[in-house]
A and B are shown apart, each in its own frame.
Chain A
Amino acid sequence: MTAPQRGTVDPRVQAAVGNLLRAGVLLAVAIVLVGGVLYLLHHGQAVPDFRTFHGEPRDLRHLGAIVRDGFHGGGRGIVQLGLLVLVATPVARVAMTAVAFALERDRTYVLVALLVLGLLLFSLMG
């Protein structure tokens, strides 16, 4: 591998990051579509209420429950799982960037990336 220029990151890493982002969005869109169609087939005739805020039930709010429900539950659970995949995409991108900086032996930026990753996981795991 040729030594990367000051400030620039290996083009192969940039391409990999680009592909990861695109794949994550496509996967999330596909899951949300499946869940959405299922939901509308069963509940399409009901009148929705978005005017007043009630919050969502526990199983659509917590990470572990969303993942569990996504594989068992109805349309709403599947949509929520798809949204979680979408949220996970930038998180995976940060993890990947940390690895890329490690390969360049740039210790400062490995630490910076790990710090951001830690903050994201802290927010998601609550």
Chain B
Amino acid sequence: MNGLEFTAVVLVGSILGGFVGSLVGLGGGFVVTPLLTLVFGVDIRYAIGASLISVIATSSGAAAAYVKEGFTNLRVGMLLEVATTTGALVGATLVTILPAHAIAVLFGLVLIQAAWVTSRQHADKDTSGDPPDPLATRLRLDSTYPTAEGLRAYKVRRVPLGFGIMWVAGVISGLLGIGAGAVKVLAMDQAMYIPFKVSTATSNFMIGVTAAASAGIYFRAGYVKPELVMPVMLGVTIGALVGARLLFAARTARLRLLFAIVVGLVGLEMIYHGLAAGR
């Protein structure tokens, strides 16, 4: 394959990756890195470099829409970005030390975690009647979000636990060049009892900043190869834009389950690939 053909094939693959990723709310990074490494034989360091940059494009694009609709909690996002950016700096520094096959194995494990989160049912806790959490109150984290019946109030709790999980999400993002949205949502809706829609919108909003923290280190380590990132970033952005338009039409439980199974299997393949290369 020459450069033109390779670019065209990667572009088409990335459009599909961005499309599928946005349909199930996981982002393109989950699809792009396995695609580049397992199908095209790209070195995993170039693959995660391309993925990290694409993540910034899709996150910023989607966040633009969510912020305007009023789902995003800017204070929660800003506070937790302290955790994700410090985590990302640690993760991105670690990745320059770790051998490539170890990155592949870690990637597989995170894919399996994401598969589990995707397949789960979501039920928001009703926190409107609960007594306020002192720390959340002092940090002015409680807020409202739009529903069909107008604005609904919610209370935030267990801030330190959420902060800790967010730090881990930052490390994973820096290590693997993904948004780690599944871990971020876990920290917000499971640990801090933030409504699922607010959690996903705020997570999306934070992903760009988290990835930007790793980007400087990736650039300097030489992971960002412009001729590879170009089709990946453009493709994932186009795919995500198309996917976002169909979001509510297609987000069915069956589709999510199917995707979870596929992501889980790809995760196992990445682990096998990494272990085989490591021997």
Q: Determine how close the nearest CB of chain A comes to the CB of B141; give it in whole angstroms.
A: 6
Q: Is the CB of A50 within 8 A of B226?
A: no
Number of interface residues of B (CB under 8 A): 70
Residues in B whose Cβ lies below 8 Å from that of A18: 63-65, 67-68
Chain B, residues 108-139, CB within 8 Å of chain A (1/0): the string is 00000000000000000000000000000001
Once bound together, how far apart are the Cα atoms of A8 and B230, in whole Å?
37
Once bound together, how far apart are the Cα atoms of A32 and B208, in whole Å?
18
Q: Is the CB of A109 within 8 A of B56?
A: no
If A46-B3, A51-B43 touch, whether A83 touches B212 (CB-CB below 8 Å) is no
Residues in B whose Cβ lies below 8 Å from that of A46: 2-3
Smallest Cβ-Cβ distance to B154: which chain A residue? A7
Q: Is the CB of A56 within 8 A of B225?
A: yes
Residues in B whose Cβ lies below 8 Å from that of A99: none
Residues in B whose Cβ lies below 8 Å from that of A33: 234
Q: Which of B27-35, B74-82, B256-264, B266-274 contacts A (4 or more CB under 8 A)?
A: B74-82
Q: Is the CB of B227 within 8 A of A76?
A: yes
Q: Is the CB of B72 within 8 A of A14?
A: yes
Residues in B whose Cβ lies below 8 Å from that of A25: 57, 60-61, 64, 237
Q: Is the CB of B64 within 8 A of A19?
A: yes
Q: Is the CB of A40 within 8 A of B3?
A: yes
Q: Is the CB of B89 within 8 A of A123?
A: yes
Cβ of B222 within 8 Å of any chain A Cβ, yes or no, is yes
Q: Is the CB of A112 within 8 A of B140?
A: no
Chain B, residues 194-232, CB within 8 Å of chain A (1/0): the string is 000000000000001101111111011111111111110
Cβ of B45 within 8 Å of any chain A Cβ, yes or no, is yes
Q: Determine how close the nearest CB of chain A comes to the CB of B152; give it in whole angstroms.
A: 13
Name, among B40, B67, B233, the residue most crowded by chain A CB atoms within 10 Å (CB to CB).
Answer: B67
Cβ of B100 within 8 Å of any chain A Cβ, yes or no, is yes
Residues in B whose Cβ lies below 8 Å from that of A103: none
If A116-B85, A116-B209 touch, whether A22 touches B61 (CB-CB below 8 Å) is yes
Q: Determine how close the nearest CB of chain A comes to the CB of B239; give it in whole angstroms.
A: 13
- Find B227's partner among A48, A112, A116 (CB 8 Å cutoff): A48
Cβ of A102 within 8 Å of any chain B Cβ, yes or no, is no
Given contacts A75-B227, A123-B213, 4 further A-B contacts (CB under 8 A): A44-B2, A60-B226, A61-B221, A61-B222
Interface residues, chain B, with chain A CB atoms under 8 Å away: 1-4, 6-7, 36, 40-43, 45-46, 53, 56-57, 59-61, 63-65, 67-68, 70, 72-75, 78-79, 81-82, 85-86, 88-89, 92, 100, 139-144, 208-209, 211-217, 219-231, 233-234, 237
CB-defined A-B contacts under 8 Å, sample of 16: A5-B143, A21-B61, A29-B233, A36-B7, A40-B3, A55-B223, A61-B224, A62-B220, A86-B57, A87-B53, A93-B60, A94-B81, A113-B78, A119-B82, A120-B216, A124-B212
